[in-house]
Structure 1
Amino acid sequence: MEYIIPRVVLAGTNSGCGKTTVTCAILQALVNRKLKVGAFKCGPDYIDPMFHSRVIGVKSSNLDLFFFQENTLKYLLAKNGSGRDISVIEGVMGFYDGMSLTTTTASTYEISQVTQSPVVLVVAAKGASLSILATIQGFLNFCPDHQICGVILNQCTATTYSVLEKEIQTRFTGKVQPLGFLPVMPECSLESRHPGLITAAEVQVLREKLQNLSVQAEETINLDGLLALATTSSSISCEAIKLPRQQEPVRIAVARDNAFCFYYEDSLDALREMGAELVPFSPLSDQELPPDIQGLYLGGGYPELHAERLSENNAMRTSVKTALEQGIPCIAECGGFMYLTESISEFPMVGFLPGKSFDAGKLIRFGYVHLKANHDNMLCKSGEEISGHEFHYWDSENHGSSFTSSKASGKSWKCVHATQQLYAGYPCFHFYSNPGFAVNFYNACLKERYRHD
């Protein structure tokens, strides 16, 4: 099928150049114009999409060529961009940066190539002048088939931009449009913390910051030029990914609060499309699991920052442990896995799984992994695989051994506690990487429903 999706990629020269700030400023400004705006994030990141969602009021989706085959990626872009006046795709790291130091694999560049999307390069301009043009020239020359059509200068003065705008037009003979700038705005800083920016719910006066950024964007970024550039996008050609619509619905409790907030919205939508009702609850503040549920999903987040409150909520810990002991199907990723262990630091947790979770004082695992099942389990048969990723500074005494996790470098290790009712471990995954995992989880929840009917 062919889909018309007006879109633009906002790519950075490097991490820290300000592409998230520029993206949020543009998204808020477009929303203030009463436009229907879609948002996407390249790569596996959870946090930038949370910012996007807080800005535009709808979900932001991930586009990732390690997780997805090309058709799947294009389908998710078409599905979530349908009916939007413009979709803004925020890049990851630097434009050409891929899975290793020497490849563009899974980079923003590769995603722009697969989707044939026009690219606007965000360049950090503070403390530079003519060197900015050298940077732009280098990006244009590095891969001649790039889709770079425009440039936005971040942390640039009006005086500098007025000169460089003309120079960009002259030197690049109209091949790259100067589309404006943002000045230094320390009052609108989006503070950083691993594994990226802090969560949207924690940013002080986020709304005020975003409105201030949008006012500035309306003044100094050529939003009409961006909108016009988005309309030059070629159509998206892809086959729809069809998930089975189950005859019976199930209710799945999903932990959603400041401690557990890392989810891929397309993964949750996959469960909904099959017929699931997702019931949010808070391990921090609720006293027990929602009633009449047949499944449990504990995502990642920052349980270590809320360990004392989680531990003090003994009623919820007991409710979760009882449900697990009774066989409720459960997915617990990263922080969700830590919650099921005996303790996080000195604070007692659910205690369903053996071992304690502790601060390792350094980054333990980072990056993409392939997960291969070592035995049959709730999500798959022995030998089946799914792509995943890890990013955590905390570790646990017992990682499990139900899956083998391997990196492109060849390094591998055992991980994950998995049974016919459980997946619990540090690796996180996206259901659209292997939709069979979603189907199998749903079927496990159906069995739980039938068991109690």
Structure 2
Amino acid sequence: MGTRAVLIAAVASGQGKTTVTAALARKLVRAGRRVRVFKCGPDFIDPMVLGRASGAPVESLDLWMVGRERCQRLLAQAALEADDILIEGVMGLYDGTPSAADLAREFGVPVLAVIDAGAMAQTAGALVHGLRDYGPVTMAGVIANRVGSAGHALMVKTSLRDIPLLATLPKQGRSLPERHLGLVLPDEVDEVDDILDELADQLAFDEAAWNALPQVAFDAPAPETPLVATLAGKTVAIARDAAFVFVYAANLEVMRRLGADIVYFSPLADEPVPPQADAVYLPGGYPELHAPRLAEAATWRASIRAAHAGGMPILAECGGMMALAESLDDGAVDAANPWPMAGLLPGRVVVQKRLAGLGPQAMPTPQGTLRGHTFHYSRLETQAPVLEYTSKNPSGTQGEAVYRIGSLTASYFHGYFPSNPEAAAAMLSRKTP
């Protein structure tokens, strides 16, 4: 028993993969089909957009960070529930180690190539044949983005020869807005559903060619090993608002499987750490966009200081760490007078226009390696002692600093808890003498 599945990839970033994937997902859902979407590689924002387009949660697939076994489990489960599986690639088809092409070949998923045809015509054929043959990969077809006219679409289609043109999308009058870490979050765009519907309407889709695609069979994985409930009876308080939004759904699943209860609170709303909390998890996000409100949130700042003084385990990732520095220079204030933050970490965070960190990394822990990634435009200027450094994948070179101050563990590194649940549990547990 198989399911129709494609990996939607391109020659590079910026070709419109997310726009096309979202448009196709929304179009298929509106046609009454059950659609599951995945994102190749570590990402937080694209899955939110794709989840909004498809109406179902979107998880990451990555042979290194997620692991082959979990990827297989996620795909096999989706195949039982969906008519169509869409996997959005990352960067260019062959970029990265492992790449989107590696994922496609590992599970026998054909590639649906997105090309930006806005400044080309017949050369599209050469581009797509090169994408197919370089690996090689199985090519399901092509979606041409930013097509100018029916005549333009015909030239592209003819150039593809034996590869079908499954859909075209014209130059968009409205598109999904972006900022420095990627697309703007769906909840920040009032008309996001209107934009998604417009994109689906504009997608000229060959339904017969789509239905003719061969189905993909995903073998059932081995039963999942139960986790020891080392967080049973514990409550983990997670910051969740517009400033703290970057958390893997899989991390929440792991915490629950470890036995933890989860409660949420909003530092932006000046809510204190919940009184029932045994640990605090501050995920990444956009504190730099909300620095004035965080600076004014006296109740939140006092509560996290009290939690730290009392020895409560605190795990702060990227944006969560930024909010715990002494100050934050968001680039919009006088650098000599940055916004005051919670002050658990000495020093200040400076937001810059140049990318400061990007890519998959691994963090050493006493429980073994915790895999994850980093992506940030700011830097932390601090004299705090470094507990250890992550290592970059695949080079093994030095990555992000990991700081340990009392019960606080903080880093720009985003951990993917399923890669090592025991390590995650340890960082959220009170240490005994």
Kindly indicate whether residue 170 of structure 2 is the aligned counterpart of residue 183 of structure 1: yes
Distance in 1 (CA, whole Å) between partners of 2:27 and 2:300 is 41
Match of 2:244 among 245, 252, 260: 260
Match of 1:431 among 407, 417, 420: 417
Q: Which range is displaced more, 190-199 or 152-161? A: 190-199
Contact 1:61–1:265 at 8 Å: present in 2 too?
A: yes
Find the counterpart in structure 1 of residue 229 from structure 2: 246
Contact 2:39–2:46 at 8 Å: present in 1 too?
A: yes
Find the counterpart in structure 2 of residue 355 from structure 1: 347
Contact 2:73–2:221 at 8 Å: present in 1 too?
A: yes
Match of 1:367 among 322, 345, 359: 359
Match of 1:58 among 56, 77, 90: 56
- Change over 3 Å in CA distance of 1:212–1:266 after alignment to 2: same
Share of identical aligned residues, percent? 35
Q: What whole-Å deviation, never above 9, does each CA across 1:99-158 have from its counterpart, x for those lacking one?
A: xxxxxx2211011011211211111111211111111121122123x1212111111132
- Change over 3 Å in CA distance of 1:400–1:158 after alignment to 2: farther
Kindly indicate whether residue 395 of structure 2 is the aligned counterpart of residue 403 of structure 1: no
Distance in 1 (CA, whole Å) between partners of 2:238 and 2:414 is 15
Supply the AA of the counterpart residue of 1:265: A
Kindly indicate whether residue 11 of structure 2 is the aligned counterpart of residue 20 of structure 1: no
Distance in 1 (CA, whole Å) between partners of 2:324 and 2:226 is 30
Contact 1:97–1:107 at 8 Å: present in 2 too?
A: yes
- Change over 3 Å in CA distance of 1:265–1:139 after alignment to 2: same
Distance in 1 (CA, whole Å) between partners of 2:35 and 2:177 is 25
Match of 1:336 among 320, 328, 334: 320
Deviation of 1:47 after TM superposition, in Å, equals 1.1
- Change over 3 Å in CA distance of 1:222–1:439 after alignment to 2: farther
Greater than 6 Å deviation, 4+ residue runs:
none
Contact 1:122–1:153 at 8 Å: present in 2 too?
A: yes
Supply the AA of the counterpart residue of 2:253: D
Deviation of 1:167 after TM superposition, in Å, equals 4.6
Find the counterpart in structure 2 of residue 150 from structure 1: 141
Deviation of 1:228 after TM superposition, in Å, equals 4.5
Find the counterpart in structure 2 of residue 76 from structure 1: 74
Find the counterpart in structure 1 of residue 202 from structure 2: 216
Q: What whole-Å deviation, never above 9, does each CA across 1:168-191 have from its counterpart, x for those lacking one?
A: 3xx22xxx222010011122x122
Find the counterpart in structure 2 of residue 451 from structure 1: none
- Change over 3 Å in CA distance of 1:359–1:420 after alignment to 2: closer
- Change over 3 Å in CA distance of 1:280–1:79 after alignment to 2: farther
For structure 2, the 5+ residue unaligned runs are 330-337
Find the counterpart in structure 1 of residue 180 from structure 2: 194
Match of 1:91 among 68, 73, 89: 89
Contact 1:400–1:415 at 8 Å: present in 2 too?
A: no
Supply the AA of the counterpart residue of 1:14: A
Contact 1:125–1:154 at 8 Å: present in 2 too?
A: yes
Contact 1:243–1:435 at 8 Å: present in 2 too?
A: no
Supply the AA of the counterpart residue of 2:301: R
Deviation of 1:347 after TM superposition, in Å, equals 1.0
Deviation of 1:369 after TM superposition, in Å, equals 2.1
SS at match of 1:307: helix
Deviation of 1:414 after TM superposition, in Å, equals 6.6
Q: What whole-Å deviation, never above 9, does each CA across 1:328-384 have from its counterpart, x for those lacking one?
A: 2221100001111111121111111222111244222222223224xxxxxx34xx3
Deviation of 1:56 after TM superposition, in Å, equals 2.5
Contact 2:360–2:373 at 8 Å: present in 1 too?
A: yes
Contact 2:246–2:283 at 8 Å: present in 1 too?
A: yes
SS at match of 2:7: strand
Q: Which range is displaced more, 356-365 or 118-127? A: 356-365
- Change over 3 Å in CA distance of 1:223–1:436 after alignment to 2: farther
Find the counterpart in structure 1 of residue 273 from structure 2: 289
Find the counterpart in structure 2 of residue 388 from structure 1: 372
Distance in 1 (CA, whole Å) between partners of 2:262 and 2:381 is 31
Contact 2:124–2:159 at 8 Å: present in 1 too?
A: no
Find the counterpart in structure 2 of residue 165 from structure 1: 157
Deviation of 1:268 after TM superposition, in Å, equals 1.2
For structure 1, the 5+ residue unaligned runs are 99-104, 374-379, 449-453
TM-score when normalising by structure 2: 0.90
Deviation of 1:235 after TM superposition, in Å, equals 2.2
Q: Which range is displaced more, 263-272 or 400-409? A: 400-409
Distance in 1 (CA, whole Å) between partners of 2:63 and 2:10 is 18
Distance in 1 (CA, whole Å) between partners of 2:227 and 2:19 is 39
Contact 1:9–1:88 at 8 Å: present in 2 too?
A: yes
Find the counterpart in structure 2 of residue 440 from structure 1: 426
Distance in 2 (CA, whole Å) between partners of 1:239 and 1:420 is 40
Q: How many residues align?
A: 420
